[in-house]
Amino acid sequence: MPDIFISHSTNDREVAKEIQDYFFKNGASAFLAPFSIEVGTKWSNEILSNLKQARVVLFLASKVACDSPYVNQELGASLMLSKKIVPVIWDMPPENLPGWVKDYQAVDLRNGFYALRPVLDSIIKKLKLDKNREGILLMLAIGFLAWLLLKE
């Protein structure tokens, strides 16, 4: 299950790959279609499956990406699935984001990409905290079930 789904235009593939690599290096899994889908796999099924499983959608919102029908399908599905969407812009103002994505706080990199790393680190930190909480809850549930079984 990927932690992050990276929605992007193929024109932004190099930036997307650098971000995916950064997530991997820091303990988070990131789905990036051209690099995450195995040869011979049906793209649409794999994209939708990974989008459903991801906790966060990182939308690399370049002008080209905002005009892409495929990216807009991913965003529409993200909205319908109530995903946390993090738009990242660098070549346009936030008000040019498509549709309802305008309602999400964007990471504005128009003054430089230096602001991206703290955002990525924040996403990774939150994902790790969520996983730790889930692990603790699972251990508590197992402990409670064991207690119930031993009680009888």
| CATH classification of the domain holding 76 | 3.40.50.10140
- What does the CA dihedral 11, 12, 18, 19 come to, rounded to 10 degrees? -150
* % of the chain at pLDDT higher than 70: 93
Q: What's the number of domains the chain is made of?
A: 1
Predicted local distance difference test score (pLDDT) of residue 63? 96
Mean pLDDT, rounded, for 83-91: 94
- Report the alpha-carbon distance of residue 34 to residue 72 in Å, rounded: 17
- Report the alpha-carbon distance of residue 15 to residue 120 in Å, rounded: 13
Confidence band (pLDDT; 50, 70, 90) for 56?
A: very high
* % of the chain at pLDDT higher than 90: 60
**Which has the closest alpha carbon to 4: 29, 25, 26?**
29
Domain residue limits at 128: 4-151
- Report the alpha-carbon distance of residue 91 to residue 109 in Å, rounded: 8
Mean pLDDT, rounded, for 24-35: 93
pTM exceeds 0.85? no
Q: Is 86 helix (H, G, I), strand (E, B) or coil?
A: strand
